[in-house]
């Protein structure tokens, strides 16, 4: 009995929501998609969204709002100052962060520009587990330096799998000593660690980083746009947290920070929005000045009343344990399914995305023919799936002879929008990979025929070799 019970197939991972409104998708043929991709210069960023069936380009601002959020949109108070919707948002954010100063912004990078514009400047150093690209750009724009020190792991070390987004505490101390604490503008903890595969940060790591900041009198900023997803990992992987709610874990973690920056387009469960919250009164005054100059008055920042209403609701919904379970498990379902097929995925699977090592998937395609790009193009033509290359197209540089200096790895990211695709969409994606596996002996890639001087992946054009 018990034996047969234990052999029972695991139940299908079913969505903790049902569908009340549908957005029809255009069904296209492979021939049609080949034509469209060619017209787009083989750059998936240049495709029209309506020609995409499953859009895994990003999880940022692409989620679906709930019926409660949509109902909240109708209650949005559009008063210039002191709107009800603002009071509601401020209350939710204060409860979450325990920080007294809350500044609404139109998205995450606006909060970054304000805070790092004030803290940064030539000679200043920011240290992070990993700076997200807009974070780095906003810091470097002030003339300051951004240094990443994510804890390094052996890829095959399956012992120490759980928190691969952690900051390297030994390097943190060494760097502070080397740069001089007076030059360190802030320590930035990105949770989950987006640029390192959406990997979580443990509470223990955050506490130790806090202690180090205390020791040297440094400011600790939590870049926490996926704080709810991170809390799920803490609950399920860090000893002692199994009985805590994800919300209380987030509260405990955010209580450790001096400032919190959030792109609400992720775990805020809205399509646009951002937050900057602070503990220090003087710093908050400086930030509020910048907010008023560039975003808007303190009680709306860059947002309309209805946006604030939807965000206040989204920040509660995201901590629903059933939702978070489904969210993390459905990302893992895709990653584990790919691994089972023999697709080389970055392991363990993070919270919001699955990363595929296209260099390993297509060993016969040289890096200067962009194996990641080959995969991104094939996923579109074979299945109408859009994703993003994060390999040598995005990060490659040229030496003085014009030869490619490749990225560390030829990765492709499948980022999963929140509450948008169903389990059968995910299974469809897995099916498309059967066609991808048939291309493993492929030897021909792409060459770049046009590239702009900066951020070339957005607008470059390619030709098939």
Ligand X SMILES: *Cc1c(COP(=O)(O)O)cnc(C)c1O
Pick from 55, 198, 46, 219: which is nearest to 124 by CA? 219
CB burial string 83-111: b at 16+ within 10 A, e below: bebbebbbebbeebbbbebbbbbbbbbbb
Is residue 167 helix, strand or coil?
A: strand
Is the preceding peptide bond at 348 cis, omega within 30 degrees of 0?
A: yes
What is the C-alpha to C-alpha distance for residues 31 and 27, in angstroms, rounded to an integer? 12
Judged by CB under 6 A, the residue of 66, 85, 135, 369 near ligand X is 135
Tell me: does residue 190 bind ligand X (CB under 6 A).
Answer: yes
- Which residues fall within 8 angstroms of residue 253, CB to CB, at 6 or more apart? 191, 203, 206, 222, 224, 227, 230, 231, 234
Which residue number places its CB atom closest to ligand X? Answer: 108
The smaller minimum CB distance to ligand X, of residues 230 and 251, is found at: 230
The pair of three-digit structure tokens given for residue 18, joined into one six-digit string = 């049902």
Judged by CB under 6 A, the residue of 97, 142, 194, 205 near ligand X is 194
Binding range to ligand X, per CB under 6 A, among 101-109, 140-148, 150-158, 309-317: 101-109
Tell me: does residue 200 bind ligand X (CB under 6 A).
Answer: no
Site string for ligand X, 205-224 (x = CB under 6 A): ------------------x-
Residues forming a β-bridge with 326: none
Judged by CB under 6 A, the residue of 146, 188, 225, 379 near ligand X is 225
What is the C-alpha to C-alpha distance for residues 218 and 211, in angstroms, rounded to an integer? 10
Is the preceding peptide bond at 192 cis, omega within 30 degrees of 0?
A: yes
The smaller minimum CB distance to ligand X, of residues 108 and 445, is found at: 108
Site string for ligand X, 250-289 (x = CB under 6 A): -------------x-xx-------x---------------
The smaller minimum CB distance to ligand X, of residues 36 and 106, is found at: 106
Is residue 265 helix, strand or coil?
A: coil
Binding range to ligand X, per CB under 6 A, among 47-55, 130-138, 343-351, 440-448: 130-138
What is the C-alpha to C-alpha distance for residues 321 and 232, in angstroms, rounded to an integer? 8
Do residues 331 and 323 lie in contact, with contact meaning Cβ atoms separated by under 8 Å? no
Binding range to ligand X, per CB under 6 A, among 7-15, 129-137, 306-314, 430-438: 129-137
Binding range to ligand X, per CB under 6 A, among 95-103, 105-113, 303-311, 333-341: 105-113
Instruction: Scan residues 41-70 and list those touching ligand X (CB under 6 A).
Output: 60
Binding range to ligand X, per CB under 6 A, among 107-115, 181-189, 322-330, 413-421: 107-115
The smaller minimum CB distance to ligand X, of residues 272 and 334, is found at: 272
Pick from 122, 99, 106, 164: which is nearest to 349 by CA? 164
What is the C-alpha to C-alpha distance for residues 19 and 98, in angstroms, rounded to an integer? 35
Place of tokens 């697709």: 343
Query: In Å, how far are 24, 42, 49, 143, 332 from 53, measured between CA atoms?
Result: 10, 17, 8, 42, 21
Judged by CB under 6 A, the residue of 28, 134, 208, 248 near ligand X is 134
The smaller minimum CB distance to ligand X, of residues 162 and 271, is found at: 271
The smaller minimum CB distance to ligand X, of residues 92 and 201, is found at: 201
CB 371, min distance to ligand X, A: 25
DSSP of 232-254, one letter per residue? HHHHHHSTT-TTS-HHHHHHHHH
CB 205, min distance to ligand X, A: 16
The smaller minimum CB distance to ligand X, of residues 450 and 458, is found at: 458
CB 130, min distance to ligand X, A: 9
The smaller minimum CB distance to ligand X, of residues 265 and 306, is found at: 265
Residues that bind ligand X (CB under 6 A): 60, 107-109, 132, 134-135, 190, 194, 223, 225, 263, 265-266, 274
């Amino acid at each position: 009995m018990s034996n047969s019970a234990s052999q029972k197939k695991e139940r299908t991972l079913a969505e903790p929501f049902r569908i009340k409104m549908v957005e029809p998708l255009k069904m296209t043929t492979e021939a049609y998609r080949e034509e469209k991709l060619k017209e787009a210069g083989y750059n998936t960023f240049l495709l029209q969204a309506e020609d995409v069936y499953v859009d895994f380009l990003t999880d940022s601002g692409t989620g679906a709002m709930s019926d409660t959020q949509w109902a909240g949109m109708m209650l949005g108070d559009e008063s210039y100052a002191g709107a009800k919707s603002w009071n509601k948002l401020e209350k939710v954010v204060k409860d979450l962060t325990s920080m007294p100063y809350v500044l609404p912004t139109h998205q995450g990078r606006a909060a970054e520009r304000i805070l790092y514009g004030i803290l940064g400047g030539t000679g200043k150093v920011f240290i992070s587990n990993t700076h997200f690209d807009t974070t780095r750009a906003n810091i470097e724009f002030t003339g300051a330096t951004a240094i990443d020190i994510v804890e390094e792991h052996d890829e095959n070390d399956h012992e120490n799998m759980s928190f691969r987004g952690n900051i390297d505490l030994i390097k943190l101390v060494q760097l502070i000593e080397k740069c001089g604490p007076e030059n360190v503008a802030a320590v930035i903890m990105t949770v989950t660690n987006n640029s390192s595969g959406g990997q979580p940060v443990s509470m223990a790591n955050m506490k130790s980083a806090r202690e180090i900041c205390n020791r040297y009198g440094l400011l600790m900023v939590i870049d926490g746009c996926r704080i709810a997803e991170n809390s799920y990992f803490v609950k399920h992987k860090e000893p002692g947290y199994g009985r805590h709610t994800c919300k209380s874990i987030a509260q405990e973690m955010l209580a450790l920070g001096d400032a919190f920056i959030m792109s609400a387009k992720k775990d805020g469960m809205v399509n646009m929005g951002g937050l900057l919250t602070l503990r220090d009164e003087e710093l908050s005054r400086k930030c509020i000045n910048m907010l008023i100059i560039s975003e808007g008055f303190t009680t709306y920042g860059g947002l309309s009343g209805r946006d604030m209403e939807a965000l206040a609701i989204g920040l509660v919904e995201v901590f629903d344990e059933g939702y978070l379970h489904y969210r993390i498990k459905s990302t893992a379902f895709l990653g584990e399914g790919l691994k089972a097929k023999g697709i080389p995925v970055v392991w363990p699977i993070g919270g919001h995305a699955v990363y595929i090592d296209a260099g390993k998937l297509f060993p016969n395609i040289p890096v200067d023919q962009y194996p990641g790009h080959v995969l991104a193009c094939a996923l579109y033509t074979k299945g109408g799936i859009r994703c993003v290359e994060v390999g040598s197209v995005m990060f490659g540089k040229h030496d003085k002879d014009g030869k490619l200096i490749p990225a560390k790895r030829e990765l492709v990211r499948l980022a999963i929008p929140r509450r948008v695709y169903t389990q059968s969409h995910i299974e469809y994606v897995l099916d498309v990979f059967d066609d991808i596996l048939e291309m493993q002996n492929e030897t021909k890639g792409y060459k770049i025929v046009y590239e702009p001087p900066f951020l070339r992946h957005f607008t470059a054009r390619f030709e098939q070799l």
